[in-house]
Each structure stands twice: as C-alpha cells, then as structure tokens.
Structure 1
C-alpha cells in the first residue's frame, strides 16, 4: 500500500508540473477566469477517471484559485494554510492529515494537486480488485484451455488404453490399442500392444502344452479294458486340463485284477504329475509276486513319500478282484469309503483301512475282504464328487450320493453314473467343477466258469505289460 501511495504522490507531482506549465502560459494572455475554467476542466476529468477527491489549487502573485469540492474534513484542514504564500507551507505536514499533495512552484504560479489518502486507497483497492478479476478470468480461461488440451491429448487416449488393459485382464489376450498423434501416448500404446501379443503367444503355447499333457494323461487311463466277472463304467472330469485323480484296472499274472482309484492333493499340473507317478509305482509294485495288497500299497507309499514334495499326499483305494471266486479284497489309504449296494438292496461301505499315502513312509494298512454276488454294485469316487458345492456353499455330500446311487440302481451301469454326474452338475448350477471329479462304478456279473480263465488273464496281463508306459 505504501508503494502505491508513493506512486500516487509521484503522479500528482507530474500532474502539478503539467498544470503549472499550462497556467504560466495562460496568465500571460488570459484572465484569471480562463485559468479557473482550465483547472475546473482538468479537475473534472480527473474526478471522472480515477480521483473522485481530486483538488487543484493555483497560487498567483498573492491570490489563489481552487478547483474541486473537498470533503468537510479536508476543507477544514486546507483552511489552516495560506496557499497565497506557498513558501510558508510545510508540505510534510499534509501526510499527517491523510492527504497526498503534488506541488510545483514557478515565477508566475504555484500549483498544488491534492487527493485524500482515503480516495487513494479506494482507488488502489479498486485497481487491485480489477487486476484480480482479470487474473481470475484469465486463470479460468487458461484452466479451460488446459483441461480441453488434456482431455483431447491425454484423457481420451488414456481411457482407450485403460479399456485395452481391462480387456487383456479379462482374458482377451491379443487385444490391440489404437495409435495416437501424441508420441508419448503412442509409445505407451505400443508397449501395451507388445505386452498383449507376448501374453497371447505365451498363452497359446501354454494351451498347446496343456492339451498335449491332457492327451498323455488320457492315454495313461484304462481304455476298453474288460474285467472278467465285472462290468465297469467311469466318468473322469478334471478341474483343469489335467487332473490329480487317477484310476486303473491292472491284470495280474495269476488271473486276478487290481482295481485302483486315487486322488493326489491339489489339482492341475502338480497333481497330474503325482498321479502319473502313482501309476508308475503301482505298475512296478504289481509286477512282483506275491500279489499281496498290503505289500503293494506299502511299496507304493514308501516310494511316493520319498519322491514327492513335503506336505503332498494322496488317497488311494486299491482292490484285488478274483473272478472265479468273486472275492474282493481291498486296502484304502484314507480314501473316501466306497458304496456297495447288494443285489438285495442292502447297503455296505468299503471303508478306509489306514493313513493317506505319502504322510508316513512306514505306515501300516489293514486288508478287508468280501464276496460279491451277481447284481451287486460298487461306486468308487474322488472327493470332487462329495465336495461339489451349490450356490449357498452346501456340499453334495456322501449321504446324498448314496441316496442317488440307490435310486438309479436298476438302470444300466453307465446310465446310472451319467445320471449321478448330471445331478452333481445341477447341484453346482452347471458350473465347472472346482476339483477333479471321478466316478468309477462296478457291477458283478454272472459268468460261466472257464477252465482256462487263469491262462486268459495271464495273456491279458502280458499284453498290457507290453504297452509302452
């Protein structure tokens, strides 16, 4: 504010110089009335423009003229001074009375240009407000321009790039972002496109490899094997391309058969590798006699525990079927109990007889035995069946599975398990299974006694062993 006051004082001094020069010329050829008219006009113009309290006093040879109406306060102050004798006035006193004075003296006339400090400050505030308003308008205009430029150059392109990234995130690998005029944005677009193409190539290669792994696993499962005295039906649904579930029918050289279903912990590639390992171990253990289930499962467990990662394990139901006597023996390493429905309609359970495989290399199991009659049915399954959940999180469960197996007991075996699988799919609202799902059904059949049945089983055994594993 002080700087503005000093600037006003300088301006008043400049004005007084100009007026003094003009008055000095006027009084040579004109009357005092002409001088009065001149300073009145000047004062009037100044009041209109920027100085509403403007006053001009001209002192000429002992007399003075005045233009402009002063406020009562300034009029009272000015009356204390004799402007006809300007040399007697102390100019620094005016600042004490809130007045700003510009002064110029000459031989013909002395001029005083006076403005109240209140008016000076009002004018300064008005000027500052106008400047602030102009700056505000310019700022808003600049903000609008910047916003438009950012929207056009940055905002819309970024929205398009974000949409492309969201498409890639949702699985649309290979999605391509457009090009842009901005080199920086276009560089980002190129990087996103490169990433998208790379992800798409990697995914295509992964899917190709997984398809090969799926075919290999399918090849490891029994294909078209017929067990004397047993009808078989099975459904195998991996949660991923490959599964940790495994089932098999292996002929033994003495005419009996091994029937196996296993479930390696987890699912996907790691579980599938564990399942393939179980098949190899079971094949190796079943080549040696005696064909004792406890010996076989102990050997499989010892080798499996020594090769898998800590914390991994598997459940396994392993049975031995003797067609001539229709005797079924089994050991179960923590596997879910199989369901046995007799031809009479009575229910029995093929319960677990020991620990899971892989937890303890020195684990022990008990062998249980039963004899089947023609028409008896057995359902073996993995936990992906009983742990299928509906939208409320309720599990399908063993009781519901047993009930449905009883309901479809009179249907052909493959039709029966297809119906059970359909019911399970409906239970989980036809969504993909969260875990590998395997259903393995067996039905005891009445077959005539063949004298050379042991020789036929041995022939099948030799053929299976000759197939590359």
Structure 2
C-alpha cells in the first residue's frame, strides 16, 4: 500500500528516469538470457559439426594406414588425441569401432567402456534427431571399415560460450550506459528542465510576482501548459491591478473620513494612524459639540481590512448621529450599540471609548465599551488610567453603559490608543505593553501634542525593529492648555 504513495510523491523527472531505465534494464536482461541460451545451442551445434569433420578425417587416415593393422590405427588415435588435449581441446576424446574391435585413445587416461558407450549412445540420439543434454558432445563418421566417434566435454563449450557472452555483455553494458545517459539527458532537456521552469513560474506567481512568464518550452504539450500559466498570471495581474486601484480609492475615502484639523481654544489635538492593511478597522473622531465642549472618540473593530473598514465607517455615522441627540458619552454608546447590533454581522465586535472635554465646567467625562483605558497625565503626577469600562459593542443590544468624570488641571494630556499600540510585537515576541506607553508619556512631560505623537511613533518603530504591524495602530493625543 505504501509503494504507490511513495511513487506519487516522487518528482516527475525521477519517475520518468526510473520508468525509462527500468524498461532498458528489462530489455537488456531478456536479451542476455535469450542470447545466452541461443549461444550455447549454437556452440554445441558448431562443435558437433567440427567433431564430425574430425571423425571423417580420422576415418580416411585410418583406412589409408592399412586398415587390417589395428596397432597403427591405435597409435594414430593416441597421437591425434594427445595433440588435441594439449593444444585446443582439453576434454577431447576419440573412440572407434574398427574391424570388430573397440578402440579408444589412451593418452589422456579417460578411456573406459562407459565412455565409449556414452559416445555411441549420444551419436545415435543425434542421428535420430533427439539430442539429449549430456555431459559430452559427439561427432561421428561411419564407413565400410568401421565408425569413428570424437567427443568434447559440454562444460568446455559452455565455458567458451560464457566467455564470449561476457565480452559481448561488456560491450552491451557500455552501449546501454551510453544509451541511458543519452536518454536521461534528453529527458532532462525535454521534460525535467521545462517542468522546473513551469514549477518556478507557478511558485513565483504564488509568491505574488504576477509578471512572471514562461517561455521557450520543449514540446507542444508543455508550451500549451506554459501558455495557460501565462494567461492565468496575466488575469491575476489584471485583477490585482484592479484590486489595488479599488483599495487605493477605499483608503482615500477612509482618509477623508478622518477628522479635519479643528482649531479649538485651550486644546491641542494630534493623531497617528497606521492601518495594517490597505484600509483599517480603527476609527477615531473629534467632534465639536459646542463652543466649549469637544467629544473625542476612538474605536477598534475586530480584525482589519475591508470588512473592518466598512464597520468602522458605520461607527462614524452612528456616533455623529447620536451626538446630535445627546452629549453624554454613556448615552451615545447605548445608541451606537443598538444600531451596531442591528446593522453589523453578528460576532463582528468592536470596542469604543468616548471622552467629552468640558472647558467651562473644567471636567472630563468618559465612557468605555471594552476599549483600552485612556492614559491621563496631570502635571508632575504619575500617569493615570481612566478605568471605567463596560461590554463591547455588538454583544448585547440592550447593554447600558456608565460614565465617569475627572476634573481638568492645567497642562493635562489625555492619550487614547488602540490595541495595535499596546500589543505591538518586536522580533523577540515581546509586547510594547501599557507600561511602555506610560514611560513614553512621562518622558514627554513637556512635549506638545504633536511632539508627543512623534515620540510615540519613534518609540514604536524602534521597538518593532522593522517588524510589520499585525494590527491597525491608532494614537490620539489631547493636550489641554
């Protein structure tokens, strides 16, 4: 069960190489096996013909000696067999049926009744076209004076055939290696290299490099695949271009929703806004309620991007509408929450803090819907937090929010931040945290609002050390003169 899975996990180039080389190996193996069998048969047949020619020559030589003298014939047989055994055929043996006698070569010590019986039986099998696999190969010739049998060990012939096969196999292996190298090279040039180009192009497109294109592929099928990848990349590039254009317009719209610079006596207000995406889910506003009262608002919609930006836009509309009915932060939050629960998708929560600055009654009134507590710095005193807070927006439609108030002191600064500030991370996975916010405020005790904002931006950039913000970052500084 594991083999098919492992095979499918291999790259295409390796699958092709294994498949082609396996076929070549099977073909070469079959060729070697079949050729080995045919070669042995051929060697045996050739040896039998040569032995029969030798038997005919011996017969004629024995007749020429004076066939009645068996001693001369025996000497001839011994001399010939001795010479053959020492020169060309170590397993060579000669036997005769001559003038009613059985004669065998005695020079090599292999003469025996069993040997001559085996030679005669093998000759009869060949004559009847029923050759058996015996240990010897026999050639024979018969005439009026008798019959001559010449044998050779079958093992000698097989050894000779194998030596020749090994020489040929070496040549085949070399030729096969060359052929395999050529095939592998062609596979690399025709398949592997173009496929790597396609994979690299797809990977480049997947990483956002939409101008990546594939060219100069090796065959029609791969060119078609490459053309389709190019078409896909062009369409993605066109879609991304449209998306960037739309997001730029959305960002411009969101920038226009930010409050204009408001000149209010006795107040300096400055802000910093850095969305994590093209558009953000943080919303802040400064609304002049009358000549002596200003409403400061900061909200943070869960998540970022287009959905959060749309929800933040609704929050601005809800706050502006509620501020026309009442100036109390708690009542504004109640009205905003009811509308938010009605129009925004369930589960898309938001936090919001409202701060009303009353320059006549010299007090700050605030209400909080689950947002980061505001920071307050009054003269030389330690940095304080406005710790009143209630449930997030979008949880329960009938939530009642409470408000609290503190007196205004000369030189007071109020700092509102989103969690993109306190939850900013550096490369060591440390959070910026509220304690660092307090330290920055304390170190900028004598700063004006715009100077304190710049100090925060520098501190956050130094802390992040180049790490991108994962959430929208918003800061609002209010300085009461």
Normalising by structure 1, we get a TM-score of 0.80
| Partner Cα distance (1:182, 1:56) in 2 | 68
| Partner Cα distance (2:262, 2:477) in 1 | 14
Matched, 1:250 2:287: yes
* Equivalent residue for 2:180, pick from 123, 138, 143: 143
Matched, 1:159 2:196: yes
Larger displacement relative to structure 2 (295-304 or 253-262) = 253-262
Secondary structure, in 3 states, of the residue corresponding to 1:257?
strand
Correspondence for 1:462: none
Correspondence for 1:321: 357
Give the 3 Å change call, closer, same or farther, for CA 118–45 of structure 1 in structure 2: closer
Correspondence for 2:296: 259
| Partner Cα distance (1:432, 1:82) in 2 | 97
Correspondence for 2:457: 421
How far 1:276 sits from its partner (Å)?
0.8
Q: Gapped runs of 5+ residues in structure 1?
A: 446-469
How far 1:138 sits from its partner (Å)?
3.4
* Equivalent residue for 2:417, pick from 355, 373, 381: 381
| Partner Cα distance (2:194, 2:286) in 1 | 61
Give the 3 Å change call, closer, same or farther, for CA 121–27 of structure 1 in structure 2: closer
| Partner Cα distance (2:294, 2:99) in 1 | 145
Correspondence for 1:369: 405
Secondary structure, in 3 states, of the residue corresponding to 1:388?
coil
Give the 3 Å change call, closer, same or farther, for CA 125–253 of structure 1 in structure 2: same
Matched, 1:441 2:464: no
Q: Residues 16 and 111 of structure 1 are in contact (CA less than 8 Å); yes or no, is this contact kept in structure 2?
A: no
Correspondence for 1:116: 153
How far 1:129 sits from its partner (Å)?
4.0
How far 1:377 sits from its partner (Å)?
0.6
| Partner Cα distance (1:305, 1:77) in 2 | 118
| Partner Cα distance (1:68, 1:141) in 2 | 53
Normalising by structure 2, we get a TM-score of 0.78
Correspondence for 1:465: none
Q: Residues 264 and 315 of structure 1 are in contact (CA less than 8 Å); yes or no, is this contact kept in structure 2?
A: yes
Give the 3 Å change call, closer, same or farther, for CA 22–291 of structure 1 in structure 2: same
| Partner Cα distance (1:401, 1:382) in 2 | 12
Give RMSD over aligned pairs.
3.8
| Partner Cα distance (1:417, 1:61) in 2 | 134
The alignment of Structure 1 onto Structure 2 pairs a total of residues equal to: 436
Correspondence for 2:91: 53
Q: Within 5 A, what are the aligned runs for 1:69-468?
A: 70=108, 72=109, 74-76=110-112, 98-107=135-144, 110-130=147-167, 132-252=169-289, 256-288=293-325, 290-445=326-481
Deviation string, structure 1 residues 184-222 (Cα, Å, up to 9, x no partner): 332232222222222222221111111111001001110
Q: Gapped runs of 5+ residues in structure 2?
A: 1-35
Q: Residues 317 and 335 of structure 1 are in contact (CA less than 8 Å); yes or no, is this contact kept in structure 2?
A: yes
Deviation string, structure 1 residues 76-117 (Cα, Å, up to 9, x no partner): 46676699xx79x9879x989833323343446634231223
